[in-house]
Amino acid sequence: MKRHVLITGGGSGIGLATAQRLDADGYSVTVCGRGETSLKNSGFAYALMDVTNAQSIADGFAAATKHHGPVDIVISNAGSAQTAPALKTSLEMWDAMIAVNLTGAFLCAQAGLPGMVERGFGRFIVVASTAALKTYPYTMAYTAAKHGTLGLVRSLALELAKTGVTCNAVCPGFTDTDIVRTAVQNIAAKTGRSEDEAMAAFTKDNPTGRLITPYEVADSIAWLCGVGAGSVNGQAIMIDGGESIQ
């Protein structure tokens, strides 16, 4: 019987790359998100879901179950990044970053984990960030949220260690996704620099001198989903070309 994977933020970027990889590995996949067009275009079964809303998550899990049966693996990937100087960070920005990046993971855990525990197998994987382990200028709200996801994962991992369910985080560095591409365009527009010069701000700390690809992140997630990773629990797996060890 195929394992059923639910992926939030599954219509593009890391989420879509993960869906494609796990589909190729033989999993049943449901992608979730707010943008119906991208979800439809993914080619996978999908459910509309706003991870900041508990009822929307419950409805999304119910729809996913109708597609492929109970959810065995949750990839909590939906996220957002907004930047501002720390002392100019508005409460609105703070609340938004906590809601989508941290509360969203919490709500997905509450929706998905009880069934996994009951069946004796499950994987809960949060796509965090190197910002869960370090920080960057102008990212106070985002960094606080991502640090929080790592605490959430580790707490869950300890409590569920004897249930057959593992909880882990993958922590990519700057990745070739719409979030980074939009940030590059904004920097270029605001500073007058070329997009190549703006991109250099995102690659300068990566020893490989490039962005991480979504498929590199997907490979790590695929490994965590497997039976052979059953003793990998409560970990923050860095996918950053060596940035975090400099």
Catalytic residue numbers, as ranges: 142
Mean pLDDT of the chain: 96
Residue 16 and residue 176 in contact, taking contact as beta carbons nearer than 8 Å: no
What burial class does residue 204 get, using C-beta atoms within 10 Å of its C-beta: 0-12 exposed, 13-18 middle, 19+ buried? exposed
Residue 141 has a CB neighbour count (10 Å cut-off) of 24
Strands 4-8 and 236-239 come out as: unpaired
Answering whether pTM is above 0.85, one says yes
Domain boundaries, the chain: 4-173+213-237, 176-211
Query: Once rounded to an integer, what is the mean pLDDT over residues 213-242?
Result: 97
pLDDT of residue 196: 87
Q: Each residue of 27-50: pLDDT tens digit?
A: 999 999 999 999 999 999 999 999
Query: Once rounded to an integer, what is the mean pLDDT over residues 111-116?
Result: 98
pLDDT of residue 178: 85
**Architecture of 4-173+213-237 per CATH?**
3-Layer(aba) Sandwich (3.40)
Distance separating alpha carbons of residues 228 and 238, to the nearest angstrom: 19
